A = this chain, B = another copy of it.
């Protein structure tokens, strides 16, 4: 098995059977019939040898910017143990590529015998008619067992909203749950924060008012990617929760009111949260698209807005579009409603899922939630590490 430039284990069920050198690329055939071309620049940049990649950090040392611009291979062939072997013409450098690694990172679609896989991190978009939302998992199992942890995290990534049951109603428990994923994101509200009705609240969350569906901390440049809410006590009347999948809300808006969707993806709103000791502001569109036009972020937070500051003629369209979005967040067919029981931890993607609550009667009982934040790329990293461990455990000894 050849060196690879990372810590992963790659399938050994394919070998390189043939390599053909062309003026701009190397065409590689694998034992399963897959064929893919790799450009010279890509191959040189990804040489995994000990001179090009530090073998302890697995970080690259080679800098292609210092290497010859025009350095085509002088030879490319299948190696004896199923690798791809390349020799570079200008400097005589020799590169050897693991067949499974090369297969996993091939980018020349449409030539292969295997269909391109559906990405395993594709979201499952849901609404009020979807069965089994929120997907529910056993808290103590998730805290103790990595296999249970992985199942929960895959659901959290797919649905953006999950529930754990029977998490100990201890003050540090929600932090321990979040730490199963990674680093807890500290904010101006602290590392762990409380949600209960207070006489001198620092935020409307700590009143007994209804909260319209929203994401937390929409006024941060880096809006936290994950939120955890742990119910420690809940004996008050009211306060039922409403949850919506922002991806579904955005889809509906795009289909039913394309003009509003366009305005919400192009005209920025000012978000803000001020206190005696902090003053966070950020200007961003309420719906954020990636370069491919996919919704990556939904920023909805009625009471986290500062005065709109856009061109005069954009003001009325911006209000009309935001009203259309807010109205969708009240549509019952899009929402899942549920109450929190002591021991529940609700974990959700805070840049995708909107959450709200009914008003509650503060004198009718006690209501005490503790929460914290995390990041989506910590979740992705933890899933990869757990999957890496699972693959390694399946290797023949």
Contacts and interface: CB of A to CB of B under 8 A. Distances in A.
A59 B204 contact: yes
Nearest to A315: B39
Contacts of A42: 307-308, 315, 319
B377 A221 contact: yes
B209 A61 contact: yes
Interface in A306-356: 306-312, 315-316, 319, 323, 326-327, 330
A291 interface: yes
Interface string A53-67: 010111111011100
Contacts of A54: 201, 204, 207
Interface SS of chain A:
loop
A280 interface: yes
B274 A58 contact: yes
Nearest to A111: B312
Interface stretch (A141-149, A164-172, A230-238, A297-305): A297-305
Size range of the chain A interface in the assembly: 35 or more
Interface in A257-306: 266, 268, 272-282, 285, 291, 302-306
20 contacts: A7-B275, A7-B279, A8-B279, A24-B316, A57-B202, A57-B203, A64-B326, A65-B330, A105-B307, A107-B308, A107-B310, A109-B312, A183-B186, A188-B381, A221-B375, A222-B225, A278-B381, A279-B385, A280-B380, A280-B381
Given A225-B221, A309-B107, A316-B24, A277 B385 contact: yes
A136 interface: no
A6 interface: yes
Nearest to A221: B377
A394 to B, nearest CB: 18
Contacts of A114: none
Contact of A183 (B39, B65, B188, B376): B188
